Chain A
Amino acid sequence: MGALLQIAGLTAGIDGREILTGIDLDVPAGEVHAVMGPNGSGKSTLSYVLAGREDYAVTGGSVRFGGADLLAMAPEERAAAGLFLAFQYPVELPGVGNANFLRTALNAIRRARGEPELDAVNFLKLARAETKRLSMPDDMLKRNVNVGFSGGEKKRNEVLQMALLRPRLAILDETDSGLDIDALKIVADGVNAQRGPEFAALVITHYQRLLDYIVPDRVHVLIGGRIVRSGGPELAHELEASGYAGLAEAA
């Protein structure tokens, strides 16, 4: 079997507008890859298409995840298969308690994997341990999902979900946006804690800053809906110094 995530010739768009013009990208298990690019290059579209948002239409190419056809799967099946998207703009769910949300999600995934569900007591033990690790106050479990959360709290809540759901591949969509340096470190620690041979990540970011804390194995530059360059972590520093302008011309 090849890489955990294999994207070949992927084209996709929304409302008849093509945004991804031919993505080729492999992420092997155990590796962290960064996708960097300017605004409008298709970074968020890539994350939404991988997670299965229905308003994006895939027009060509293929995506294989753990050997299976990812594009044929419903969003919840992708989650059960081990794919996780940390949203750039986490969605507020008024009236849905965070603990209930987290337990429902965890148990839905456990059920889909044929594992026993966690009862409320064992779930709360697990959730409290993770919130503590992420320096989140306990009351974040009691509040409604993302309602009234600050930007940093929302991003930490995404990382909390990732820590509980233990995905094989986490896609972090601009998880650094809106974070101060302390929150950024906490989020990065949360991701780094997952790293290992069974965990891969696709870190989507505009800035190099996050990559100081989550050091990637590979860096890919996305411009105009396709990967125009790939390299090691040093590529991120190069971009920080010279910007995307030169690469945009090359594209």
Chain B
Amino acid sequence: MNALAAGSQGFLARFEGLRDRLPGDPALRAAAAAAFRANGLPGPRDEAWKYTSLRPLAEASFHEPLVPLADCAALLARLPAIEAPRAVFVDGRFRADLSAAPPGVVLDHFAASPDFPGLARPQRDSLVALNTMLAEDGAIVTVPAGVDGGTLMLASLATDTPGRAVAFHPRHVIRLGAGARLTLIEVSVGEGSYLHNPVTEILIAEDAVLTHVRLQDEAARSFHLATLYAEIAARGTYDSFSLTLGARMARSEVHARLAGPGAATHLNAAQLLSGVQHADFTTVVRHDAPGCASRQTVKNVLAGRSRGVFQGRIEVARIAQKTDGYQMNQALLLSPDAEIDCKPELEIFADDVKCSHGATVGELDPAQIFYLRSRGVPEAQARAMLVRAFLESALDAVSHVQARAALDHAVTLWWERQAA
């Protein structure tokens, strides 16, 4: 048995022990388990996983999270100071005592109201099969039609259990009714060694707007493997930005389907990596209706021996005339040992479309560093300023003032950690 197959055995055993107690449709669980048993963890022969190997995950073993005994004050203190209600999950479990909903927004949780809207595809995506098989809790957020839900923070805190790596598989569902609005600020932090494997399904009705800002600042020894599906109806918008700073291995996979005319999505991201970190941002945007727009600016800043991956696929169906697709990937390599892999893919079946993509890879410009130093700015600070400048155009996509400030602050802390 190879390592990847061995790695899936532990999860399957856990399913067998848990299956009678899992919330929701047992048939769905069983089907997901069958898919996971058949396909295992994705391996190097899977085209979508060509640049990201799950071997380190397969070689680790994970336990069930113990019922958290509440002391997560230190982790709560790490959440950005944003004046908004929070939905807090500790080791994947909803904490009603720490959570509240913004006015007009219905906040429920998966353990109490299991919900499988059907966007996720466990038959195709193995980590989603794993999640579907084992999900125990998650946020179920509903913004009724016409309601401006303001801002909600969705926080995942992972506590450290020494000598006991835990795995949790949250299942989140976000629904916006026609014309509804919400800013969702999702923050993942933690301590110790764990696997955080969330699946998020997002349904955006006509004219609704979801702004989704993600800050992934997981523990240095953790795995963060997130899969997100969004379906956007006519004139709706899914506007997202992901900042990846943490985890030894991270993958954020986004499947966005523009399902109605005039829908739009922004899948912007920045990944700041150092040491031996590996982070993968993989997106599939499907244009299934005419007159839709998709925009992506993805920036990687790679130090040490880190490795960044960006895979961006744009699919344009025959019906999706007047599609406007744009994708830009830029990488800044701060070390000769850092590496970026970038794979843009366009698959276009309509004839009247505008799709462009580009990629650049570079280093900091010595002339710019010298200019700053000649003005008295010490070299480390000069480099930090230039990295910030590189990120600026990506971060500028975040218009929510407090979220933007939180991201800036996180980048500053990241830089201070590098300098330390």
| Chain A interface residues toward B at CB < 8 A | 51-55, 74-76, 78-80, 84-85, 87, 90-91, 93-96, 101, 104-106, 108-109, 112, 161, 165
Contact = CB atoms under 8 A, between A and B. Distances in A.
- The 7 closest A-B CB pairs, nearest first, are A95-B389, A79-B376, A105-B375, A95-B392, A109-B376, A75-B373, A91-B371
B351 interface: no
B385 A104 contact: yes
A95 B390 CA distance: 6
A52 to B, nearest CB: 7
A95 B388 contact: yes
Nearest to A161: B375
Interface of B: 366-368, 370-379, 381, 385-386, 388-393
A93 B371 contact: yes
Contacts, number: 73
B389 A85 contact: no
Contacts of B367: 91
Contacts of A104: 377, 381, 385
Nearest to B382: A76
B389 A79 contact: no
Contact of B377 (A52, A54, A55, A108): A108
Contact of A108 (B366, B376, B388, B391): B376
12 contacts: A51-B370, A51-B374, A74-B379, A76-B374, A79-B374, A91-B371, A93-B371, A96-B388, A104-B385, A105-B372, A105-B377, A108-B376
Given A91-B368, A96-B385, A79 B393 contact: no
Contacts of B370: 51, 53-54, 75, 91
Contact of B393 (A76, A91, A93, A95): A95
A76 B389 contact: no
Contacts of B371: 87, 90-91, 93
A75 B378 CA distance: 8
A80 to B, nearest CB: 5
Given A53-B370, A54-B370, A108 B389 contact: no
Contacts of A95: 388-393
Contacts of A105: 372, 375-377
A95 B408 CA distance: 14
Nearest to B388: A95
B386 A108 contact: no
Given A91-B368, A93-B368, A95-B393, A79 B388 contact: no
A53 B389 CA distance: 22
A84 B386 CA distance: 21
A244 B344 CA distance: 58
Contact of A94 (B373, B374, B377, B389): B389
Given A51-B374, A76-B378, A91-B368, 18 more contacts: A51-B370, A53-B370, A54-B366, A55-B366, A74-B379, A75-B370, A76-B373, A76-B374, A76-B377, A87-B371, A93-B389, A95-B390, A101-B372, A101-B375, A104-B381, A105-B375, A105-B377, A109-B375
Contact of A96 (B373, B376, B378, B386): B386
Contacts of A53: 370
Contacts of B378: 76, 108
Contact of B376 (A76, A90, A94): A76
Nearest to A110: B376
B368 to A, nearest CB: 6
Contact of B375 (A54, A74, A79, A94): A79
Contacts of A90: 371
Contacts of A75: 370, 373-374
Contacts of B386: 93, 96
A165 B375 contact: yes
A52 B11 CA distance: 59
A42 B377 CA distance: 27
Given A91-B368, A91-B371, A76 B379 contact: yes
A76 B389 CA distance: 20
A108 to B, nearest CB: 4
A76 B371 CA distance: 10
B385 A79 contact: no
B372 to A, nearest CB: 8
Nearest to A109: B376
A243 B374 CA distance: 33
B374 A52 contact: yes
A53 B373 CA distance: 10
Contacts of A108: 375-378, 381
Contacts of A87: 371, 374
Contacts of A93: 368, 371-372, 385-386, 389
A202 to B, nearest CB: 15
A78 B375 CA distance: 9
A52 B374 CA distance: 8
A161 B385 CA distance: 18
A90 B368 CA distance: 10
Contacts of B381: 104, 108
Given A91-B371, A93-B371, A112 B376 contact: yes
B370 to A, nearest CB: 6
Contacts of B366: 54-55
Contacts of A91: 367-368, 370-371
A70 B315 CA distance: 60
A82 to B, nearest CB: 10
